[in-house]
Amino acid sequence: MAELNKRGRVLVNDAQKVMEGQQERLKRQHECLERQHWTRTKFQKHQEHILALRLMKWSCSREGEMSGLMPKVPRVSLQRLDLDLTAASQPPVVKVFPGSTTKGSNLMVIEPGAAAAAARQPGTALGTPGA
């Protein structure tokens, strides 16, 4: 009986040593993965910074003014649209009219779908009663 207890303790000790070794190995792997993630994140931020600098260099002239590539800062005007978006309705038609010069503005017009436009009374504007 004493011999069995002795062998049991030896087996338990061996199992504990194996488990501790595996835990150490997993801990080292985890630390390595954390370092890789940190390095990758730092590298990604560095790349984004370089791309931003390249875009600035590309878009600005030597005097610090905007070049012909980006002559003006884009401006967006949003308006609320009252549209019928049920399954039976036609999707709205979006038309874009670019400005004729670099200083001109672009115009985007959103009209009701083909079926709604045909049903609309002539002479009524969008958003008015009877439309």
Whether pLDDT at 105 is above 80: no
pLDDT tens, residue by residue, 13-33? 999 999 999 999 999 999 999
The model's pTM is 0.36
User: How far is 24 from 18, CA to CA, in rounded Å?
Assistant: 10
pLDDT tens, residue by residue, 39-94? 999 998 899 888 888 877 776 655 555 555 555 555 556 666 666 666 666 777 77
User: How far is 18 from 12, CA to CA, in rounded Å?
Assistant: 10
Angle CA(76)–CA(96)–CA(85) in degrees, nearest 5? Answer: 85
Domains in the chain: boundaries: 1-70, 72-125
The single-letter code of the amino acid at 77 is S
3-class DSSP assignment, residue 62: coil
3-class DSSP assignment, residue 1: coil
What is the distance in angstroms between the CA of the first residue and the CA of the last residue of the chain? Answer: 99
